[in-house]
Amino acid sequence: MPPWIDTHCHLDAAEFLPDVDAVRQRAAGAGVVHCVIPAVAPPNFTQVRELAHRHGDSYALGIHPLCTGGATEADLEALDTELTARRDDPRLVAVGEIGLDFFVPGLDAARQELFYREQLALARRHGLPVLLHVRRSADLLLKHLRRVPVTGIAHAFNGSAQQAGEFVRLGFRLGFGGAATYERALQIRRLAADLPLSALVLETDAPDIPPHWLYQTAEARAGGEAQGRNEPAQLPRIAAEIAGLRRMAPGELAAATTRNACEALPRLAALLAALGSDANGAGIIAAQ
């Protein structure tokens, strides 16, 4: 069974509250040896850190663009304080989830940009990569990244090939997950198939972005059918579809994307080495 890394998984989400330990155990049983758990606002900083330590995973700290409406200068100060307090924690691997979202209506674009800019500066100051939220915002995200030399992962990437190339040029890896399993997601599937292998990392964004086999239409949900909850245990099946798009073996994809994740999030290498990895995508053993 190839080993997998889920580079973006919200294990602290309310959907996982009743059974998070079982969720993580299922993922380990499926070969997911490591999950990166991003925060979305100061109130969940402690929760993501404790989950990462409990399950042998890692975490990121940041203020999500969807949370900027109620955020204040004090939240940026709290983030700075927590990054300072946890600077020696090897499981703190990034600043995130941060970024811009111009898809959800009613958000203040200027306020989002302010928090994004300030968090890039914090990432630079603390010497950490970033986990970026990219939703109809790639060009503006790139504009600021050209001014602040940080790298990391552009999570759930769904931009153009030109935008993808610019993120890669700036040193970013691009996250692909459940969206790539939909036959109608032509652009995402083309990118997953055609980008250099060195650009790809894998993720679930669980409990969100379910793969096609878990998705229920709005009509079905209105009729009482439940939306399937995405979990990190789905990653190997998602990865198998992406490997098929690239005409490569899943094990080869696992090795390459693990190597890419370690390059994007350098602290991961030591964590995986503790699990028996050579930090180059081979020989990882499950923590559980």
CATH number at residue 161: 3.20.20.140
Contact 121, 94 (CB under 8 A): no
pLDDT band at 227 (very low <50, low <70, confident <90, very high): confident
Which of 129-133, 172-176, 280-284 is predicted with the least confidence, judged by mean pLDDT?
280-284
* Residue 19 assigned as binding residue: no
Question: What contacts 186, CB < 8 A, 6 or more positions away?
Answer: none
Q: Which domain holds residue 260?
A: 4-273
Tell whether the model's pLDDT for residue 213 goes beyond 60: yes
Tell whether the model's pLDDT for residue 243 goes beyond 60: yes
**Is 159 inside any structural domain?**
yes
pLDDT band at 216 (very low <50, low <70, confident <90, very high): confident
| Total domains present in the chain | 1
* Residue 8 assigned as binding residue: yes
Q: Which residues pair with 32 in a beta bridge?
A: 4
**Is 283 inside any structural domain?**
no
Tell whether the model's pLDDT for residue 218 goes beyond 90: no
Contact 34, 268 (CB under 8 A): yes
**Is 287 inside any structural domain?**
no
* Residue 55 assigned as binding residue: no
* Residue 205 assigned as binding residue: yes
**Is 280 inside any structural domain?**
no
Q: Could you report the per-residue pLDDT of 247-288, keeping only the tens digit for each? A: 999 999 999 999 999 999 999 999 999 887 444 444 443 333
**Is 33 inside any structural domain?**
yes
Q: Could you report the per-residue pLDDT of 15-66, keeping only the tens digit for each? A: 999 999 999 999 999 999 999 999 999 999 999 999 999 999 999 999 999 9
Q: Where are the beta strands (DSSP E) in the chain?
A: 4-6, 32-38, 58-61, 92-101, 130-135, 152-155, 173-176, 200-202
Task: Work out the average pLDDT over 177-202.
Answer: 98
Q: How far apart are CA 182 and CA 189, in angstroms?
A: 8
Q: Enter the DSSP assignment of 226.
A: P
* Residue 80 assigned as binding residue: no
Q: Which amino acid is at 198?
A: S
**Is 284 inside any structural domain?**
no
* Residue 75 assigned as binding residue: no
Half-sphere exposure of 272 (CA within 13 A, CB side): 30
**Is 279 inside any structural domain?**
no
Tell whether the model's pLDDT for residue 82 goes beyond 60: yes
Model pLDDT, residue 287: 33
**Is 181 inside any structural domain?**
yes
Q: Could you tell me the strand order of the sheet in which 58-61 lies?
A: 4-6, 32-38, 58-61, 92-101, 130-135, 152-155, 173-176, 200-202
Model pLDDT, residue 228: 85
